[in-house]
Amino acid sequence: MALLQIAEPGSSKAPHQHKLAVGIDLGTTNSLVASVKSGQAIPLVDTENNYLLPSIVHYGEMHISTGYTAEKNLLTDPLNTLFSVKRLIGKSFAEVDRTFLPYQLSAHESGTVQIDTRCGEINAVQASSEILKTLIKCAKKNLQGDLDGVVITVPAYFDDAQRQGTKDAARLAGVHVLRLINEPTAAAIAYGLDAAQEGVIAVYDLGGGTFDISILRLHKGVFEVLATGGDTLLGGDDFDVQIAKWIKEKANLVDPLSPKLQQELLKTSRKAKQVLSDQPNVTITLSQDNFSIVLTKIQFESLIAPLVKKTIRACKRAMKDANVALAELVEVVMVGGSIRVPLVKELVAAYFKRELLTSIDPDTVVAIGAAIQADILVGNKPDADMLLLDVLPLSLGLETMGDLVEKVIPRNTTIPVARAQEFTTFKDGQTAMLIHVVQGERELVGDCRSLARFVLTGIPPMAVGAAHIRVTFQVDADGLLNVSALEKSSGVQAHIEVKPSYGLNDNQVIEMLSASHSFAKQDLQARMLIEQQVEVKRVIENLTDALQKDGLQLLEQGEFDAINENMAILEKIGAGDDKQAIKEALKSIDKLTSHYASLRMDVSINKALTGHAVTDI
Amino acid sequence: MNYFELFSLPVKYCIVQSELSATYRLLQKQFHPDNFVMRADAQKRVAMQKSTEINDAYQTLKDNCLRAQYILLLQGLDIELDRRTLQDSDFLMQQMRWREDIELFTKDDEDAIDVFSNNIQDHIKALENTIESQLQQESLQATADSIIRLKFMLKLQTELSLIEETLFD
Amino acid sequence: MSIKLTVPAAKHVAAFLLHRGKGIGLRLGVKTSGCSGMAYVLEFVDVLNDDDVMFEDKGVNVIVDKKSLVYLDGTELDFVKEGLNEGFEFNNPNINGECGCGESFSV
């Protein structure tokens, strides 16, 4: 029998209608899943009563394992036990720092980095999807049902390729992503709602592999990110590497180190770091040659000081971008496992000139915030008066003549955002054009991250300079970029072929989906059909409701009839199993009703603003 | 719907920032894509466009320079398209001198940089006041020239802060 | 007429109310729908309606509307753990059929 949870007043769902949604913190070192039960967000535990799942995947002889089970193989099977894969997501082979990475890396033909395991070449998206699958299984068991959607957190400073990679991993794991939200923003939700805080806060988030700083204004349920900064390759892992390098030097170990020794060095270093957070020194021993040495806290701090100082510089820049003075901050919230290192707390407190808030559980707060957001997005809390306004973390630009970058959307612009840029042809009769999109703050293309190369085709042949191609860059609420193009004088929609520089293209994802062990091809087909049918149902419900409310007020009789007619057709086609036909029908009704949808928006904007004295908002 | 209409405001340069942001939050609470996650794709798309437009309008209206430029645009004067050049050699010479000045700053010039920065800030304030009265008198061409001057000053301000960043971080 | 809470149920309701930061009690109710006719309602209460009846058991205010009361009289609300799952359960002497999942019932 299903057990009941307490709902908000008036929002009890009919049986089987309560939506199940969870928040997932997909971390470099640990991951976890949380959900709202009876109005309270809590981490969900597995059968062993653990809520933290080590982000480790073992590709074994017989099966794939994750978490603590996988961790047992770190030393015995280092080549097939993948850890910290989050650092590889959305990265090219050439970009990856291979110091102390015990496994074999190679490049996919697209340039994407992959790991050679006994199960073949595995990329970071696939490995991450294994972690997600475990968390989702745990959530389903806890909540006794299928999930309607998940919110996954990503470092605020993740670029487009890294975000897309995370979304692809969720797709592979077979879950519907409601939204990607930034880790510090999620922490701010959990903290802000709990403490009923108002004013400007800073969230300092130092995890296992990534660092974020976000400055937010909290005002009557609105969480407005003013600026964000960070480093996606800076975290507790790097502290471990610093210690490992030190031991390597002291023990006179020479390259190449065996994978097992590399793994042992890392493991020993991590332990040493943990001991040093409350002891003045630690004795480090290696199995090889009975090596033993003492590392003092002071030595450790001098090893990591440059890294911690780097985070302070990012804080300074974020404060400046936010245009906020130190005195304006009402709280500095510390999040992420690596804030346990005393030097971190010391330097951060010194910069912000205040006591830090370190009392919230740095391991769970991000997942809790994501769970709260998931519960709202899925519609379980209709009168929730909460709004997140997040920003684009890194500027988006285009390659121009001379390898220079022209900024199209500057960093810290509130999303969703769109900017259009006009291009013209430089040859008579030119019908195609190449556009290179980059992300980053530097002026030279080579110093920024290449996101994608777009080929515009289908430009009507004209004299040189006569074609005006308007390319629109749209960043959605997940922080993901979409590009569309239109030739202005002829109104021709130019076709865009996207070639992500390091991410996976659609075909690769579909290939991985069908190759994935958990879905036989038929399952996949069946799932796609079900997804389409859900969409058909959604469209019909939404439209019927809308037409009843204001269809005849806003539409001409002819338009009104046409929509009704098309809806009937869609309903009929939707009942069948012809995926292509359903897709076409959805597309045609989409086109037919988009004008109506815009009209409704405008009407509701007028409604929203009348009868409100702005001062009481 | 132009940006002023979207925010139910008269087309005027003078604006109360706190009211503007209150209206902004009210609009986004209703039209942000987060409210449409479980809806059909067409609605999701329209909501994203609307929310994008609200963001764009807010960015434009809250910024003095962009707002002035937008008012001119509504009157049919597009500064970007116009590609107008400033026929004020004194102003341009002054710009060049300032630019040379900031390039010579070193780590020891913290006080001098502060004085310089305040000076620029004063110039910006003065230009904004000029723009306000020019718009009231509906002298569009003169406003356009002032906006270009203001853009020069803002750019100088950005450059100065970049130099500060490299000197003191 | 009476509705009871078990000790674990009362403890959890009190904790959830405290965490929520507002609300005067817990609403138990039934509404029509579902595969076998009726479904339970379990909600926080911020304001009382005209036809509401309020009981108190183990320090928790239990609110039931008059229509629902007919179907719920004698019910005991329990809080149970089943494996990884935990939540509330209605032990209702009035019911004579439940759908497979227990989310709806008939009287």
Tokens of B135: 């718009």
- Residue B63 main-chain phi, psi, to 5 deg: -95, 125
Minimal C-alpha gap between A119 and chain B (Å):
37
CA C48 to CA A195: how far, in whole Å? 27
Dihedral sign for Cα A96, A101, A106, A108, please: negative
Closest CA to A174 of A154, A197, A148: A148
Cα dihedral sign for A435, A436, A437, A440? negative
Amino acid in position A19: K
Largest CA distance in chain C: 40
C-beta neighbour count of B104 within 10 angstroms: 8
By DSSP bridging, strand C104-106 and strand C97-98 are antiparallel
Using CA atoms, how far apart are residues B71 and B77, in angstroms rounded to an integer? 9
Residue carrying the six token digits 């509705």: C3
pLDDT for A494: 66
Task: Name the 3-class secondary structure at A100.
Answer: coil
Chain B: list its partners (3+ Cβ pairs within 8 Å): A
Query: Catalytic annotation on A565?
Result: no
CB A365 within 8 A of CB A204: no
Tokens of A12: 């009890």
Q: What's the one-letter identity of residue C86?
A: E
How many angstroms separate the CA atoms of A44 and A34, rounded?
5
A175 part of contact set with chain B, CB < 8 Å: no
Distance, in Å, from the CA atom of B95 to the CA atom of A36, rounded to the nearest integer, reads 58
Largest CA distance in chain A: 88
Answer yes or no: do A413 and B59 touch at CB < 8 A: yes
d(CA B130, CA A366): 49
C42 contacts in A (CB within 8 Å)?
4-7, 12
Asked if A150 contacts A24 with a C-beta cutoff of 8 angstroms, the reply is: yes
Quote the pLDDT of residue A58. 96
Asked if the C-beta of A471 comes within 8 angstroms of chain B's C-beta atoms, the answer is no
Tell me how crowded residue A283 is: count the other CB atoms within 10 A of its CB.
Answer: 10
Chain C residues whose beta carbon lies within 8 Å of the beta carbon of residue A15: 33-35, 39, 99, 101, 103-104
Residue A187's nearest CA partner among A407, A373, A1, A405 is A373
Residue A279 neighbours by CB distance under 10 Å: 11
Other beta carbons less than 10 A from residue A402's beta carbon: 7
pLDDT below 70 — which residues of chain C? 1, 32-37, 95-107
What is the signed CA dihedral for A48, A51, A54, A60, rounded to 10 degrees? 40
CATH of domain C4-106: 2.60.300.12
Please give the pLDDT value at position A460. Answer: 81
In the numeric block, which tokens belong to residue A291? 């090596």
**Pairwise CB contact (< 8 Å): B56 & A417:** yes
Question: Average pLDDT for residues B134-140, to the nearest whole number?
Answer: 90
C68-105 b/e (C-beta count within 10 Å ≥ 16 → b)? bbebbeebbbbbeeeebbbbbbbebeebeebbeeebbb
Query: Which residue among A86, A133, A167, A248 is the active-site one?
Result: A86
Distance spanning both ends of chain B, measured CA to CA: 45
Residue ranges and CATH numbers for the domains of chain B are: 3-62 (1.10.287.110), 84-168 (1.20.1280.20)
**Per-10-residue mean pLDDT for chain A, 617 residues long?**
77 67 95 91 90 95 92 92 92 83 85 89 93 95 90 94 92 92 95 86 94 94 94 92 94 86 92 94 87 93 96 93 94 94 96 93 94 92 86 89 84 93 80 84 83 80 81 90 80 66 64 56 67 82 85 87 89 86 87 84 73 44
Determine the residue type at A587.
K
Cβ atoms of residues A134 and A178 within 8 Å: no
d(CA C52, CA C74): 17
Is A376 part of the contact surface with chain B (CB cutoff 8 Å)? yes
Structure token pair of residue B142 = 């003169």
Question: Does A57 reach chain B within 8 Å, measured CB to CB?
Answer: no
Sorted by where each begins, the domain ranges of chain C are 4-106
Question: Residue A142's closest CA among A57, A37, A56?
Answer: A37
In 3D space, the residue among A59, A56, A105, A109 whose CA is nearest the CA of residue A80 turns out to be A59
For A423, which DSSP code? Answer: E
Name the DSSP letter for residue A1. Answer: -
What contacts A410, CB < 8 A, 6 or more positions away?
A395
d(CA A208, CA A238): 8
Best CA proximity match to A535, nearest among A488, A583, A495 = A583
Per DSSP, the three-state class of A425 is coil
Distances (CA, A) of A384 to A6, A98, A150: 16, 46, 18
Which three-class secondary structure state does DSSP give residue A240? helix
Of B46, B56, B169, the CB nearest to A601: B46
Q: What is this model's ipTM?
A: 0.86
Is A539's Cβ below 8 Å from some Cβ in B? yes
pLDDT attached to residue C97: 59
Q: Please, what sign has the CA dihedral across residues A8, A12, A15, A20?
A: negative
Type of residue found at A604:
S
Would you list the DSSP string of A348-375? Answer: HHHHHTS--B--S-TTTHHHHHHHHHHH
Instruction: Report the SS3 class of residue A9.
Output: coil
Chains sharing 3 or more CB pairs under 8 A with chain A:
B, C
Q: Residue range B110-129: average pLDDT?
A: 91
Whether the ω angle into residue B10 lies within 30 degrees of 0, i.e. cis, is no
3-state secondary structure of A316: helix
Q: Which residues pair with A500 in a beta bridge?
A: A452
* Nearest CA among C100, C44, C95, C99 for reference residue C72: C95
Q: Checking DSSP bridges between strand A149-154 and strand A21-26, what pairing results, if any?
A: parallel
Amino acid present at A225: V
Sign of the alpha-carbon dihedral angle for A173, A179, A183, A188: negative
pTM: 0.81
Q: Which pLDDT does position A617 carry in this prediction?
A: 39
Distance of CA B127 to the CA centre of its chain: 12
Which residues of C fall below an 8 Å CB-CB distance to A? Answer: 12-13, 16, 19-21, 26-27, 29, 31, 33-35, 39-47, 80, 82-90, 98-99, 101-104
Q: Is B37 exposed, middle or buried (0-12, 13-18, 19+ CB in 10 A)?
A: buried
Lookup: tokens for A205? 């988030």
CA distances (Å), origin A142, targets A46, A147, A273: 8, 11, 34
